[in-house]
Amino acid sequence: MRHLYDRIDRDPRFHALAKARGRLGWTLSGLVLLAYYGFVFAIAFAPGWLARPLGPDTAVTVGIAAGLGVIGLSVALTGVYVWRANRIFDRLNADIVDAATRKAGAFDAD
Amino acid sequence: MPTSAVAGDVGASAVAITLFLAFVGATLAITWWAARRTHTTKDFYAAGGNITGFQNGLAIAGDFMSAASFLGASALVYSFGFDGLIYAVGGLCGWPIVLFLLAERLKNLGKYTFADAVSLRLAAVPIRCLAASGSLVAVVLYLIAQMVGAGKLVEVLFGLDYAIAVCGVGGLMVFYVCFGGMIATTWVQIIKAALLLSGATIVTICVIAQTGWSFGGVFATAAEHHPTGIAALAPGGMLQDPVSVVSLGTALVFGTAGLPHILMRFFTVPDAREARRSVFYASAFIGYFYALTFIIGFGTIAFVAGRPAFLDAEGALRGGTNMAAIHLAHAAGGELLLGFMSAVCFATILAVVSGLTLSGASAISHDLYSNVFKRGADEARVVVISRYSAIGLGIVSIGLSLLFEEQNVAYMVLLAFTVGASVNFPLLFLVMYWRGLTTTGALAGGVLGLVTAVGCIVLGPTVWVEVLDNEHPVFPYKYPAIFAMAASFAGSILGSLLDRSARAARERAAFTDQYIRSQTGVGSEGASGH
């Protein structure tokens, strides 16, 4: 396992993958937390704004729409992450692990 | 004999009891089936690692959509209007964070419990003790909350005595866990999630139908019926100061990422890919469910509040505000729907307490017994210890539920979230993302987080003033999560930076291997045949 980890560590593709995955994860986390804490801080500091009705002839307030919007955004962004990860990251990861394992096999045969 | 909320409604009681008995019968059959497939520790703790992403997503949603969240969130909207919705939104927003930052790494590092992942590069004995304490405190708090809720619900719905109801729920949950392990617990959870999702959907459709198929109509009718009128649709009913709002919001999001019975579910799937898919399905189901609670919550104001049929002699809601959603099922769909939702709520409680018991039993048997006290104990013995632990937890939680009969259920759930956010989450996050974390730092942070959380709760308005009858709280806020979480992170970081021991140097050096394993899955449990 030791040699396998060392070999993966030396593979620049691994570090590129980790970086890309990290960037996507942190960006999406940032978006969700921004939306959520936006909602929470609006409750704390701008309740009057959330209390306004969406339109002249509806009882639905900005706050209710915002709450449903935050829920919808969260579900949509988990979908984005899973879609990207399944399409791109998994294949790259398998390539990196395969390459490292093949080399390990070659060394063993020597 | 306490009077049942459905007393006189023989039809509803018959439907509820028939459906409930059918559910118990089905789950006992599943337990029997699962028991014949449970041979190894991997079967017992992780259902053999054979659950698919979709199944696990439903099971996670089942674990998370407790009766406390269904009845409790609607009860909060019923009482306070808009502010009750923060529970629904906060409860959901934890899930993307779990997916983006934790789920795949957790699956790649751990085996059966999240303590496996955090003790990989740190000293196993003290770290497992810390993780097991964090797990057990959260599990027991959550368990008491659910059992008290179950006892009250059964008392109201079926007219059974509280003590008998609590013992019945406790007995069934111990039975599922002891004999069926994670396989039975997962399938009970899946069935219950499907029932709860369909039940909530039917109630919502009936409510919207009553307002002439208009989404806005539900809110307009609610505003007409709430004592505060249109103000019910605006913030400010429950949470007055900004610190409480932000602290409660933080506990909900990060507590989700630190609940041990939910973290445990990531080990029931074969690999990181399925772990990822399970969070997507879970968040879709939970998001849909919480969107429905917007309608159901305001529906209770529109169709239950102020209706004499649902009020007792003093004008309060029959069975307490927690029954608001059940009364709504009656108002919107008649006897049949009332019976159906009563049975669904009880099934929900039964499933959630089973998941919690299994998680607590794993903390005792896998983390403490086989990795601290009797290292290298054989598999069969560890499974036996898990069964004893489940029985022990059952007895303890029945006892505590009888003792805490009058406690506020929603607040106890929140305490479990606070412990999750201020002990388990910082530990898990730092061990995966910060090379500098050492055992000393982790212990300092964990203990500081736990002490701050418990201390602020005891000295705060809810316990110090309301329970202990002091005049003024020592700690002014009701929700201590931001303070406890900050204390935990600060303790971990300072403790690690000041740690100059040789062990600390080894632990930092081991980060690279742990990092590669967490990213690629090489060397992780279940991936050995790669």
Lowest-confidence range among A2-6, B53-57, B239-243, B512-516?
B239-243
Residues in chain B: 530
And the tokens for B493? 């970081």
End-to-end, the C-alpha distance of chain A in Å comes to 18
User: What part of B 253-282 touches A (C-beta under 8 Å)?
Assistant: 253, 273, 276-277, 279-280
3-state helix, strand, coil in chain B (%, to 5): 80, 0, 20
CB contact under 8 A, B519 and A93: yes
With contacts defined as CB-CB under 8 Å, which chain B residues touch A36?
Answer: 89-90, 93, 249, 253
Lowest-confidence range among B289-298, B344-353, B459-468, B477-486?
B459-468
Query: Shortest CB distance from A67 goes to which of B89, B217, B517?
Result: B89
- What number is the ipTM of this complex? 0.89
Spatial distance between the Cα atoms of B61 and B279, rounded to a whole number of angstroms: 9
What does the pLDDT read at residue B3?
43
Spatial distance between the Cα atoms of B192 and B459, rounded to a whole number of angstroms: 38
And the tokens for B420? 């999750």
The whole model's pTM is what?
Answer: 0.89
pLDDT at B235 over 90: no
Instruction: Say whether A57 sits in a helix, a strand or coil.
Output: coil
Query: Shortest CB distance from B234 goes to which of A29, A61, A75?
Result: A61
And the tokens for B233? 């649709």
Burial B322-346 (b: 16+ CB within 10 A, else e): bbbbbbbbbbbbebebbbbbbbbbb
pLDDT 10s digits, B368-397: 988 888 887 788 888 889 899 999 999 999
Answer yes or no: are the C-beta atoms of B108 and B519 closer than 8 Å: yes
CB within 8 Å of B371: residues ≥ 6 apart: B115, B119, B124, B125, B128
pLDDT at B132 over 70: yes
Does any CB of chain A come closer than 8 Å to the CB of residue B523?
yes
Answer yes or no: are the C-beta atoms of B433 and B494 closer than 8 Å: no
With contacts defined as CB-CB under 8 Å, which chain B residues touch A41?
Answer: 242, 245-246
pLDDT at A107 over 70: no
CB contact under 8 A, A44 and B88: no
Query: Shortest CB distance from A43 goes to which of B216, B235, B287?
Result: B235
Query: Shortest CB distance from B283 goes to which of A24, A29, A75?
Result: A75
pLDDT at B5 over 60: no
Tell me the pLDDT band of B443, cut-offs 50, 70 and 90: very high
Spatial distance between the Cα atoms of B175 and B131, rounded to a whole number of angstroms: 26
Instruction: Say whether B317 sits in a helix, a strand or coil.
Output: strand
CB contact under 8 A, B96 and A81: yes
What does the pLDDT read at residue B286?
94
Does any CB of chain A come closer than 8 Å to the CB of residue B283?
yes
